[in-house]
Amino acid sequence: MPDFTDKRLTPPPGTGVPHQILWGAAPLLEAPEAGARLSTEALHGELVDLYETRDGHGLVQCRRDRYVGWVPMPALSDKLWDITHRIAALRTHAYAAPDLKSPPRATLSLGALVHIDGEEGNWRHAKGLGWINFRHLDVNNIDPDGNPAAIRDPVDAALKFLHTPYLWGGRTSLGLDCTGLTQQAFEAAGVLLPRDSDMQFAWAGDDIPDWREPGALQRGDLVFWKGHAGLMADADTLIHCNAWHMATAQEPLQEAIVRIANYYAEPIGARRIDISKLRGQVPAWKAATSAA
pLDDT one-digit tens code per residue, 256-268: 999 999 989 999 9
277 vs 238, residue with greater confidence: 238
pLDDT of 152: 78
Question: Do both 247 and 269 map to the same domain?
Answer: yes
Name every residue whose Cβ is closer than 8 Å to that of residue 162 and which is 6 or more positions away in sequence. Answer: 239, 248, 249, 250
Q: What gap in Å lies between CA 67 and CA 29, rounded to an integer?
A: 11
Question: Do both 71 and 122 map to the same domain?
Answer: no
| pLDDT, tens only, 199-221 | 999 999 999 999 999 999 999 99
- Rounded (10°) CA dihedral 200, 201, 202, 206: 100
Residue 113 lies in a domain: yes
Q: Which of 59, 77, 95 is the last residue of a domain?
A: 77
Residue 12 lies in a domain: no
Q: What is the CATH number of the domain that holds 34?
A: 2.30.30.40
Residue 164 lies in a domain: yes
Q: Which H helix or E strand runs over 181?
A: helix 178-188
Once rounded to an integer, what is the mean pLDDT over residues 276-290? 81
Reported as a pLDDT band with limits 50, 70 and 90, residue 280 is: confident
Once rounded to an integer, what is the mean pLDDT over residues 86-103? 96
Question: Do both 164 and 273 map to the same domain?
Answer: yes
Amino acid in position 219 = R
Q: Taking 60 as the threshold, does the pLDDT of residue 18 lie above it?
A: yes
Residue 246 lies in a domain: yes
Reported as a pLDDT band with limits 50, 70 and 90, residue 193 is: very high
Burial of 7 per CB tally in 10 Å (0-12, 13-18, 19+): exposed
Q: Which of 35, 58, 77 is the last residue of a domain?
A: 77
Residue 218 lies in a domain: yes
> Strands 116-120, 206-207: parallel, antiparallel or unpaired by DSSP?
unpaired
Question: Do both 277 and 184 map to the same domain?
Answer: yes
Question: Do both 163 and 286 map to the same domain?
Answer: yes
Reported as a pLDDT band with limits 50, 70 and 90, residue 226 is: very high
For 30, 94, 144, 152, 253, the CA distances from 136, given in Å and listed in that order, are 32, 10, 8, 15, 32
Q: For the chain, how long is the longest CA-to-CA vector?
A: 56
Q: What is the pTM of this model?
A: 0.92
Once rounded to an integer, what is the mean pLDDT over residues 81-104? 96
What share of the chain in percent tops pLDDT 70?
A: 93
**Lowest mean per-residue pLDDT among 2-11, 24-33, 227-236, 283-292:** 283-292
Residue-number span of the structural domain to which 41 is assigned: 17-77
Q: Taking 60 as the threshold, does the pLDDT of residue 122 lie above it?
A: yes
Once rounded to an integer, what is the mean pLDDT over residues 243-255? 97
- The number of domains in the chain is 3
Q: What gap in Å lies between CA 189 and CA 111, rounded to an integer?
A: 10
Residue 11 lies in a domain: no
Question: Do both 117 and 193 map to the same domain?
Answer: no
- Whether the CB-CB separation of 45 and 20 falls below 8 Å is answered with yes
DSSP E strand boundaries for 63-141:
68-72, 76-77, 85-87, 91-95, 104-109, 113-114, 116-120, 123-126, 130-133, 137-138
278 vs 96, residue with greater confidence: 96
Question: Do both 176 and 280 map to the same domain?
Answer: yes
| pLDDT, tens only, 51-76 | 999 999 999 999 999 999 999 999 99
Question: Do both 272 and 173 map to the same domain?
Answer: yes
| pLDDT, tens only, 126-163 | 999 999 999 999 875 444 444 445 567 999 999 999 99
Question: Do both 264 and 194 map to the same domain?
Answer: yes
Question: Do both 40 and 158 map to the same domain?
Answer: no
Reported as a pLDDT band with limits 50, 70 and 90, residue 93 is: very high
